[in-house]
Structure 1
Amino acid sequence: MKTTPNTTEQLALDNQFCFALYSTNLALHKLYRQLLAPMNLTYPQYLVMLVLWERDDITVSEVGERLFLDSATLTPLLKRLESAGLIRRQRSRQDERQVIITLSESGRALQQQATAIPASISCAMACDSATMHDIKQQLEQLRQRFQQA
């Protein structure tokens, strides 16, 4: 016969999946903070730059879709990146409601500095690329399930 854990055990912090994910995320962000400091980027700004290094000249809504962020969260990030001279924001000529984000020369040049970051993260994880890929894939599947819940 299966026994059900008591309420106290169910609510113990160390038994919480969410806390394991949260505390791992905190540790990861701490590492990123150290790696990004020489580039004067925050982690969310780095994510925006990753999107733009993949595909430049895109709308704010396209950036938001890639990062799962709404425009109210994204707009201040973009303003700071623009103030830092890394991007340009301008209204679309075809549709005034859309704002197009374009990398500046400084923003493009920053990509070269960022090339060592993925290897540093991989090294800190201390696992092979197949394991890292599997973990990433499992997290993506989990995110998708949570979005559908």
Structure 2
Amino acid sequence: MKENKILGDQLCFSLYSVANALTRQYRPLLKDFDLTYPQFIVLLALYEEDDISLKELGEKTLFDSGTLTPLVQKLEAKEFLKRVSIKEDERVKKVILTDKALEIKEKVIDLPNQLRCSMHMNDEELTMLRKLSLKLLEDL
């Protein structure tokens, strides 16, 4: 591998730039739902599996508790979810989607498809990029 001496040669900068660009592309789509991108990620995780603990939600989203707690609090304030204690251990909180969140589910989970329409890479290239990203994540 060649030496990375300038910013443009840095893998971390390239990935950072792409992540920021994708987040910017989502902003106008999420605005209709009064969601930020991290809140969108939390909802997508809960649409996959609802009624899970905060710990499980953190594992799904890869958000640490310092990041996840304020996100959940804001989503709760917007009435997209609620936190409830479980009987067995009052310290453990479960996160449950509200009717408001379920009403917009199909529209929210379709947002990636809407964004996909603006991408010029083909499905095979995007699948490979996703696989390589996940492989890199495993290495870190």
TM-score by length of 1: 0.87
Cα distance in 1 for partners of 2:76, 2:43 equals: 11
User: Gaps spanning 5+ residues in structure 1: where?
Assistant: none
1:143 aligns with 2:129: no
Higher strand share: 2
Partner of 1:35: 29
Whether the aligned pair in 1 keeps the contact of 2:80 and 2:97 (CA below 8 Å) is: yes
**What is the count of residue pairs matched by the alignment?**
139
CA-atom RMSD in angstroms: 1.4
Alignment of 1:42-81 (within 5 A): 42-81=36-75
Compute the displacement of 1:115 (Å): 3.6
Higher helix share: 1
My pick for the range that moved more, 117-126 or 21-30, is 117-126
Alignment of 1:73-92 (within 5 A): 73-92=67-86
Whether the aligned pair in 2 keeps the contact of 1:39 and 1:113 (CA below 8 Å) is: no
Alignment of 1:122-133 (within 5 A): 122-133=116-127
| CA shift digits 1:40-65 (9 cap, x unpaired) | 10000000000111111000000000
Whichever of the two has the greater Rg, that structure is 1
1:120 aligns with 2:114: yes
Whether the aligned pair in 1 keeps the contact of 2:44 and 2:109 (CA below 8 Å) is: no
Q: Percent identity?
A: 33
User: Gaps spanning 5+ residues in structure 2: where?
Assistant: none
Give 1:97's match in structure 2, choosing from 91, 97, 113.
Answer: 91
Cα distance in 1 for partners of 2:101, 2:87 equals: 23
User: Equivalent residue of 1:26, what SS?
Assistant: helix
Partner of 1:20: 14
User: Equivalent residue of 2:96, what SS?
Assistant: strand
Larger RCO (CA within 8 A; separation ≥ 6):
2
Compute the displacement of 1:71 (Å): 1.4
